[in-house]
Amino acid sequence: MAVQKHIGARLITRLITRLMHRWSRLSRGMTLGVKGVVINPAGEILLLRHSYVPGWHLPGGGVEVGETAGHALARELAEEAALTLTGPPRLHGLLLNLNLARRDHVAVFVIEHFTQGRPDVPNREIREIGFFAPQALPEDTTGPTRRRIAEVLGAAPPAAHW
């Protein structure tokens, strides 16, 4: 009987340990997204309006497993705005985004060398896209989007948080 209790306690301990390790991986896994501050030759900034969240945003999205941040940026720009990079993007910063999770980060890039085809908009994800002068952004441009633009243009110091 004592042996059975000991074996049962060991099994319970092992099960709890495994559950705690799995919870730790789920609760502590870092996520990474990318955003692009795309600036055309006229100095205008590319913004888009999604179908699933309000406001105007910088283009971007999540980095998939096995994908580099640079590849994710190129993919998202192509998907959302029919934009192709013709030169390397410049990393502006890596910011902690506490709005989604405690370990979510966003890599912000500046893109000045690109070509653009004809975007298929509106679609399921993107309602509108457009280039806007920094001093004439749409009224409902999100706060984080406005802050990143100000940072990139030198009107504000770089931030650590999204």
Q: Which domains does the chain have, with CATH numbers?
A: 30-152 (3.90.79.10)
Are 35 and 148 in contact by the 8 Å Cβ rule? The answer is yes
Lowest pLDDT segment from 37-46, 97-106, 131-140: 97-106
Q: What percent of the chain has pLDDT over 70?
A: 85
Tokens of 84: 């192709």
Whether the predicted pLDDT of 98 surpasses 50 = yes
Residue with tokens 């984080």: 144
CA–CA dist 153, 156 (Å, integer): 8
Which residue in 137, 134, 133, 161 sits closest to 150, CA to CA?
134
Kindly indicate the confidence band of residue 128, based on its pLDDT and cuts at 50, 70 and 90: very high
Are 116 and 83 in contact by the 8 Å Cβ rule? The answer is yes
Identify the three-state secondary structure at position 31: strand
CA–CA dist 125, 114 (Å, integer): 22
Which residue in 161, 151, 137 sits closest to 92, CA to CA?
151
pTM strictly above 0.85: no
